[in-house]
Structure 1
């Protein structure tokens, strides 16, 4: 135990200062991004180097069903070896006792990384950059809704009741008064984040009723994905304390904007420490354009990872704050690929396609994979978009089935993300899609029952 405690991050040490650790939650992300694992007494955790979970946690659909994704050994639920990454040790401040969380990495019995574990997929992509002498840097933006408690799936989701006693209002983007409406929830988010050692770059009100955005500081892709993984749970727990739900659905409320996870990218040359998107005189480099071309050429085939559910595609609606194509432009929020205003050292490319419902490890991995392919292929992007990109044509899949077909055909992405991951992911997502197609919607009953 003493060896472990010395490796705790500072925030975890401060959280437990003067207290006795009761429990450790040993967790790992499954394909949807749900935390799976075990809670063990601190004394037991101190004596264990690893624990086991069956590999079938990666074959499970969001509804609790199963994709037939087992390997040639069959569905025998082989044990994985889960080893702690102590750098991820952080508080679980909403619990009734003194609890820490530790993210684990998954290995097989020969100590090889499990190829379809999302954190391993992201590590694989980051290593490809390192092999080229590059250090990828990302900054995710998290959009989500605070909504009224909804325990009946047949009821539409409604905005939460604000501090004023009125439901949250839409079209109040960047309003400080609107942010104040959720003050008690935001206070708990800040308190939980501070206890966990996470630095929030800012919280703003977005355009939807009860829709907020949290920006995180730029940094290491794996570390930032860990933080988004932790943040989703943190925000949900803060909301539950105030009789509301936090939802990360891509499109929870009809006629309101969807929720995105915008991803900002820059690439640092590991030898010089310079941003490879900027030249010696501060101009845009070939690498900058190649990265954008990679996003344009490969994101359609990767959309099934960034938009992983049927609901995800309801977000891509013209003039509803989400892109409908992969045009690129400088300082233009109507395009799918945006270059924000910055000085040359901070030049970056923003991917506005990913939904907040995607697994953060996989969403970031996919985005980096597309950019990496662009850097390797050294192609030029289409001409910069001028004006309102919503006036152009859509060039991304509009339904889950089409997106999965493109993903299955993309050998280039499979090689970057890992062929075994691509196989398992496709099987599980097709199983989910088949389940959805068996559900008859209220729209069908209303308009088809008596009219066709």
Structure 2
């Protein structure tokens, strides 16, 4: 677990900010600072304070119950032995995360905070702390994990009626966004004004986009981020979700990160590329002296194969997540691995030895980025420690085989609850709280009668 909190003097806090944050309001009076933290779904919680007040505070408080809330806003009975007393957490700013909020009407910064208890120990079910815990385990072995996320999402028409199906947005040409136009530059041009704002916001926030492409769905885009530290990249995905939503709203459309927003269209994934650096030598742990694949390379793959079924409840956290796993809809249904094969759940992209990496294609874009990256790294870490070998490399179209991952959230949660090895890596207290919250959400869903049930069961059974 990460070390205890150490308060920072607020007197010169602006000197600790990244250059891009200071450049954003250079020559202007900073108006406001948004003090934020990710809850379990990945929603930004916190408060906005005048910049002058932020300069005088070293921390602020929020109740720990923000981590007991379901996606609907209801509360799960996940309090500890002290009972439901909504204890105050102490939230300290990580000034390295300070970034602009360029869509606001004034000069505003966002700063991600870390959560600690009154004794200065990290709150174990705070998502950023969960990821830090996993990264610390790698560091203790002399390893530095490196990740590169890919973010898929849809731009859709405004939808304020939950009973109405989600539709693609209207493009610049006045026609709805078309499907099956993967990698089309013309299709990307249809969303030009939204993409321009995404680029402008990202530049103001100091984020480097590796590329934007049109994906296979109607109005579906993908943004790739450059590889780097897991915590830093999770921070960026956390920020990007808000950034993209704000850019879309400026152009009369919604951005959605649902795993499967439109029937008969591909789902949205967050693929995660992994490599590991030996902290002593600086070499890629997956490549040997002669450039060949190492035992660690195979052990990491085996860890993903052996433990991702239990980790899926974290990387695919909602009932809608499992609608994505459909044959021939650009989503893996298995945990086979192969080189340069996008039909398998675990892919080894083409690269030289120094850039050798393993891509986990299982997780959905609806997952909390801190928890999805933590779960994926945890599975790989267990593989490195257990030193087992993966199955033989798959040959051919993996969509033709049978799926070997859970098909519904309830089944995934059952596997997660039994995964004591995974709990030890992510944190037993996190596992306890997460399971309770997710089961509460699942119970809420089961109380809802769907249009399919009314259409086909009302008069026929």
TM-score by length of 2: 0.98
Whether 2:117 is the aligned partner of 1:108: answer yes
The SS at the match of 1:262 is: strand
Q: 2:229 aligns with which of 220, 225, 229?
A: 220
Displacement, 1:3?
Answer: 1.3
* Aligned residue number for residue 305 of structure 1: 314
Counterparts of 1:82 and 1:288 in 2: how far apart (Å)?
A: 38
The SS at the match of 1:253 is: coil
* Aligned residue number for residue 334 of structure 2: 325
Q: Is the 8 A contact 2:11 2:56 kept in 1?
A: no
Q: 1:97 aligns with which of 103, 106, 126?
A: 106
Whether 2:206 is the aligned partner of 1:166: answer no
Whether 2:420 is the aligned partner of 1:450: answer no
Counterparts of 1:353 and 1:280 in 2: how far apart (Å)?
A: 31
* Aligned residue number for residue 392 of structure 1: 401
The SS at the match of 1:6 is: helix
Displacement, 1:382?
Answer: 0.4
Counterparts of 2:11 and 2:356 in 1: how far apart (Å)?
A: 43
Structure 2 alignment gaps of length 5 or more: 1-9
Deviations 1:388-437 (A, max 9, x none): 00111110000000000000000000000000000000000000000000
Counterparts of 1:33 and 1:253 in 2: how far apart (Å)?
A: 22
* Aligned residue number for residue 11 of structure 1: 20
Number of aligned positions between the proteins: 452
* Aligned residue number for residue 285 of structure 1: 294
Counterparts of 1:206 and 1:127 in 2: how far apart (Å)?
A: 35
Q: 2:161 aligns with which of 132, 141, 152?
A: 152
Deviations 1:138-169 (A, max 9, x none): 00000000000000000000000000000000
* Aligned residue number for residue 415 of structure 2: 406
Counterparts of 1:268 and 1:393 in 2: how far apart (Å)?
A: 35
The SS at the match of 1:376 is: helix
The SS at the match of 2:82 is: coil
Counterparts of 1:393 and 1:348 in 2: how far apart (Å)?
A: 26
Counterparts of 1:6 and 1:306 in 2: how far apart (Å)?
A: 37
Q: 1:295 aligns with which of 266, 279, 304?
A: 304
* Aligned residue number for residue 7 of structure 2: none
Counterparts of 2:434 and 2:340 in 1: how far apart (Å)?
A: 34
The SS at the match of 2:290 is: coil
Counterparts of 1:5 and 1:439 in 2: how far apart (Å)?
A: 49
Whether 2:147 is the aligned partner of 1:138: answer yes
> What are the residue-to-residue correspondences of 1:217-256 with 2, within 5 Å?
217-256=226-265
* Aligned residue number for residue 50 of structure 1: 59
Counterparts of 1:147 and 1:393 in 2: how far apart (Å)?
A: 32
TM-score by length of 1: 1.00
Displacement, 1:2?
Answer: 5.2
